Structure 1
């Protein structure tokens, strides 16, 4: 299980936090190339951070943390995240957000690869997340030990910051839709019947991450912005993780263009 106090102490010993990062960016499957945009980064692997959960090494997640200036903004960039389907405790899923907040970040930008549910969200589409539905069956705040610095009962009525979302949608020449993200446990992809159920419940896209991180961020008082890259049509009979990684890599420049517009607005 993760140990937040040990992790933040180790990161500070390495030198993280000295540049006073303002924004934390968590990169989804296949988006690792965006890290190359960070100027003069301080970099470490998750496995070398004392107190971090052991990374599962899921394909498409490099499991590295960098600190530096990204598109004019002092930032922390997490190349990879912890998923519930990897066997991690629910309380460990927000460790990246916890350390980012402790190192000074007030804003969290989450990205992910997702399956499109709404008809117009085809592979290659981008969707700014306006809300989410938690179908994971877990919550990172649940438990007898209260998360340091976090509200025990955070309001989630405005989980995704409207101003940041508008900057994300309008900040580049890329077309960015808006919609609701459904978070599911995974690791199997969704059945057609499950996709239809999610559609009727108001979801526009579905994935296996992000929701726990957003919950932790809001409990810590951080502003949140989310971006999904649609990598497949949800419920398709040929869905595969390898296909998701390839779609993420192929569309990384498009994702980078949208994120660059957002970050430049925050600089």
Structure 2
């Protein structure tokens, strides 16, 4: 009976992994298709589609735009999320429960609604659509996530360390920057890398708030409008590779235990 349960658990787990990773495997496989259509059957193996995307200036420009927007917007979202989490955890603010609910509210709202609202706001302010407006939109959708992760990690044991730093003469801003932030660095880095991952492949807000300078998902969408193209599989594989690299960096920087630390 136990062997049957183990077998069923293995089959179940294997089915989940196949369901998750099979589309990615097919995408990567047919990015090497030596044909004009990225569909079965596989007609030989070639790298020409990767050569084509790296030679495409528009794609490379969109790739660079995505990296810039993801890194800068995630850094701003983490900074604002940390400041908000510190304020709510260390001070008594009026209607703090309501204010916290308002901060995390965008997590429950469709990105389409957020994008349309920001588009209307920018039009009312006569602000031209650009990478800046995309970055603002990504800050809006990533700030609640950063706040929730950092706020959840602020425990009572840190208060005593902060109080000791104040007793030694450190002003509040030094306590926050040199004591609290280093203690919360794993949570801050986790929030940052998750925000980068979400911003990296976000489409709806980037589509609504862009004009001439577009991010990679918007550029891929414009390519798909003309039909199937093997280059889309190649650039999709590159996006997947970059996402995996972000996750590996997060694993090494945040979750990996340092030698000598207790398990």
With normalisation by structure 1, the TM-score equals: 0.22
Between 1 and 2, higher relative CO (CA 8 Å, sep ≥ 6) is seen in: 2
Q: Mark the structure with the bigger radius of gyration.
A: 2
Which protein is richer in strand relative to its size? 1
With normalisation by structure 2, the TM-score equals: 0.22
